[in-house]
Amino acid sequence: MEIVHVYTKLRSEFGRQCLLSDRPAELLVDVPPDPSLALQFTQKTPRDQAAQACRDMSEHQVNTERFESESCGINHVEGGWPKDVNPLEMEQTIRFRKKVEKDESYINSIQQLGGVSDHCIGQNNSVDIYPEYFEDEEEVEEIQEPASAKTINVFRDPNEVKRTVTGLSWHPDGGRKLAAAYSCLEFQRTSKDTSLDSYIWDIENPNRPEMALKPASPLICLDYNPKDSHTLVGGCYNGQIAYWDTRRGSQPVEFSSVEQSHRDPVYKIIWLQSKTGTDAFSASTDGQVLWWDVRRLSEPTERLVLDPSREGNLDRALGAISLEFESTMPTKFMVGTEQGVVVSCNRKAKTPAEKIVCTYDGHHGPVYALQRNPFFPKNFLTVGDWTARIWSEDIKESSIMWTRYQMSYLTDACWSPVRPSVFFTVKMDGMLDVWDILFKQNDPTLSLKVCDEALYSLRVQDNGRLVACGSQQGGATLLEICSGLSTLQKNEKSLLAAMFERETKREKILEARQREIRLKERSRSEQSRDEDGGRDDGDDSPDQLIARAEKDFYSVVETELRRRRDQEDQTNRMPSQQLLLRNQEVQPKPWDQNRDQNQNQEQPELPHDKQEQDGEQLVYK
Amino acid sequence: MLTDAHCCFQAEVEETLKRIQGQKGVQGIIIVNSEGIPIKTTLDNSSTVQYAGLIHQLVMKARSTIRNIDPQNDLTFLRVRSKKNEIMIAPDKDYFLIVIQNPSD
């Protein structure tokens, strides 16, 4: 149906003014409703439809690639001079200036501005805007906030093929830079494309490393010289030692000769205290500890073979995995080995045989980290297999304190340089644990999941607040620890000293008891040998030993499972006494009679364990 | 005559600047014109040029900021306090006066 209305106007009438007049309404079109059409539609009420007369649009989100920005400054060059004045010519500029000074508006404005500036300068001089009002007020007691740590930055390996961060070292002056050693420690996993570089990062800039170090073979460990912050020394995968000076570029200044270096990857290298400040020593799994003077890396100045039988026999040497050196005790150093033994050595001994003073056997696997407590050098921390152990130098039989067996392998640990009772450990499941042994001994005070892959290295900065840990995929994470864990608490040193003393004393008593038992066993076995003529009583056959070991193992696993189930039911229930759980919750009170009583109660249980060890010892004789 | 008047006015300007320079803690004064050319200065040339160029841009930015927020408003004084000293800038229509002071606290 077409609705049409026609307008007509005579040409001659164009332009004429409009004369409007009233007219009655006229129906032009009437469209009645057609019910037959309604059959094609269905009633739908209410109807809610929004209509908008606009173009169809769709929304997408796109994440752009990381934008790398660099900031640099621009040098201002004189400009703004009028065309006829040459800014380089003194005469012309002086003339121009003099001309301006004669200008009236100049004079007026300067007089006015001078008054204003005067007022403000006077303000600065008269009132001390930031006075110290409450200087004498005593320090408020710090509220114990829950321990926390937060990630500040992650420095990722810029190469395609990611390598593990195996070594970390903080810059000695203030710690604004972090040197990280990258290498792939898995046997024969490195491809030809894997980069050999290690990097020095500025902690403010995680986008790009500040400097690259280019050795001939990947670096496993590196160390900044504490005396000279420009020099670094690093140990390579092929056993060589390399020496860098950051002022001289990325290439090493000198390399040690291949024949005179280690035969296995150098796992640890540390600078020594010396008058010249150029001495370092390194350790490797080939069983040697070598001393170097970095001015002449062609051959080591001294050599030590870690042979426990003190004969210097390389075949029987223990492979070294970690080194420890405390600058307050320059003549002693300690080596942690692959066999789980910590060897304490004296540098100043005359003969190589006397160099090895004593050994501490405690771990089932390689001792990955070894460090003396910076406040109590007689006590040191070792990490290996699934535990972290604290030792006292005097007790050689066992560690004085240890953590319970963790769920995954511990790979590195270090003490906090500001709090004597705090140490950090990293594990293969990517967790960083902060242990405060004055606060809680059974569990870490703070447990953080840093990343999904295994963590291999850990270093705390000298201020105790920043911690860097390196992972398997080449990511070095920088974390900041809360102030509660990085500021020295009241009485902390004395409390910790008391704790160490207590534990040492306990171990001494246990050692003495164990010796007594062994003597008794020996005398008993001798007696029975006389009686029976030749039958060894103390000997257990290997099968019986295996059966006993199996039984112990299963009982331990069962108690652990039970404990976990109990913990799930009741979160507050204390774990039941297990064979492995020996440390009690610490209350900082002095050594008193109650302790001795507890000691006596514990004793009947322990000989069972020690007896097993005795049995083994007798067999292997 | 005009030159005489100018001379005595100029002397007044000199006196003003000397007075400011003599205040406690003042390290230097620079007078810059609207094009960024330093007219008078008590500092050495390289610092002057640097200050003139950078502060000129800062004043322009500050002024435009104030004006954008409220067109009726205008910048009368700008103080930049830093760790080592304080830079005070008094802007005018054609010139501005920069005073660098070491506040006495």
Predicted pLDDT at A393: 85
3-state secondary structure of A96: helix
Residues of chain A with confidence (pLDDT) below 50? 533-538, 575-621
Cα angle, residue A373 at apex, residues A166 and A472 outer, rounded to 5°: 15
Give tens-digit pLDDT for B3-53.
555 566 778 888 888 888 888 888 999 998 888 888 889 988 888 888 888
Q: How high is the pLDDT of residue B68?
A: 92
Q: How distant, in Å, are the alpha carbons of A120, B27, B32 from that of B90?
A: 10, 16, 10
A78 near B47, Cβ under 8 Å?
A: no
Residue B20 lies in a domain: no
Our CA-based measurement puts residue A123 at a distance from the nearest CA of chain B, in whole angstroms, of 9
Considering the domain boundaries, does residue B93 fall inside one? yes
Considering CB atoms only, which of B20, B49, B94 is closest to A118? B20
**CA separation for the pair A197, A213 (Å, rounded):** 6
**Quick check: is B56 in a domain?**
yes
**CB distance A164 to A182 below 8 Å:** yes
Mutate: best of A109, A126, A127, A132, partner B, most B CBs <10 A? A109
What whole-number distance in Å separates Cα of residue A138 and Cα of residue A229?
A: 39
Q: Do A125 and B24 touch (CB under 8 A)?
A: yes
Number of domains in chain B: 1
Domain range enclosing B78: 25-101
Q: Are residues A114 and B20, on separate chains, in Cβ contact within 8 Å?
A: yes
Give the pair of three-digit tokens for residue A550: 């199996």
Cα angle: A453, vertex A457, A463; to 5 degrees: 125
Please list, residue by residue across A595-620, b when 16 or more beta carbons sit within 10 angstroms of its beta carbon and e when fewer do: eeeeeeeeeeeeeeebbeebbeebee
User: In this structure, what are the phi and psi dihedrals at residue B97, rounded to the nearest 5 degrees?
Assistant: -110, 125
Peptide bond connecting A218 to the previous residue in cis, omega within 30 degrees of 0? no
| Domain-located, residue B5 | no
Question: Is B15 among the domain residues?
Answer: no
Asked if A80 reaches chain B (Cβ–Cβ under 8 Å), the answer is yes
Residue with tokens 């937060």: A150
Which one, of A393, A425, A390, lies nearest residue A408 by Cα?
A: A425
Encode pLDDT of B63-77 as tens digits.
Answer: 999 999 999 998 989
φ/ψ of A164, rounded to 5, equals: -75, 145
Query: What are the sequence ranges of the domains in chain A?
Result: 149-507
Predicted confidence at residue A238, as pLDDT, reads: 87
Nearest to A413 by CA among A404, A428, A397, A424: A424
Which of B33, B49, B92 is closest, CB to CB, to A76?
B49
List pLDDT tens digits, range A302-338.
888 877 776 666 777 788 888 888 777 878 888 888 8
The β-bridge relationship of strands A356-361 and A341-346 is antiparallel
User: Would you call A518 helix, strand, or coil by DSSP?
Assistant: helix
Q: Give residues with Cβ within 8 angstroms of A191, minimum separation 6.
A: A161
Which strands, in side-by-side order, build the sheet including A401-402?
A367-372, A379-384, A387-392, A401-402
Backbone angles phi, psi at A487, to 5 degrees: -120, 140
CATH class of A149-507: mainly beta
The whole-number pLDDT of residue A294 equals: 83
Query: A460 to each of A222, A384, A392, A429, how far by Cα in Å?
Result: 15, 19, 23, 20
* pLDDT at residue number A463: 84
Complex prediction ipTM: 0.78
What is the sign of the dihedral through the CA atoms of B34, B38, B42 and B46? Answer: positive
CA proximity to B43, closest of B24, B26, B29, B25: B29
Distance from CA of B74 to the nearest CA of A (A): 15
Residue from the list A111, A114, A121 with its beta carbon closest to the beta carbon of B101: A121
Query: Distance from CA of residue A374 to its chain's centroid?
Result: 18
CATH number for the domain harbouring residue B42: 3.30.450.30
Residues of A in contact with B101 (CB under 8 A): 121, 124
Cα distance between residue B2 and residue A611, in whole Å: 116
Two tokens, residue A80: 């703004």
Q: What own/partner pairs with CB < 8 Å and gap ≥ 24 does A43-50 have?
A: none
The CA-to-CA distance between both ends of chain B, in Å, stands at 48
Contact status, residue A426 vs residue A380, Cβ threshold 8 Å: no
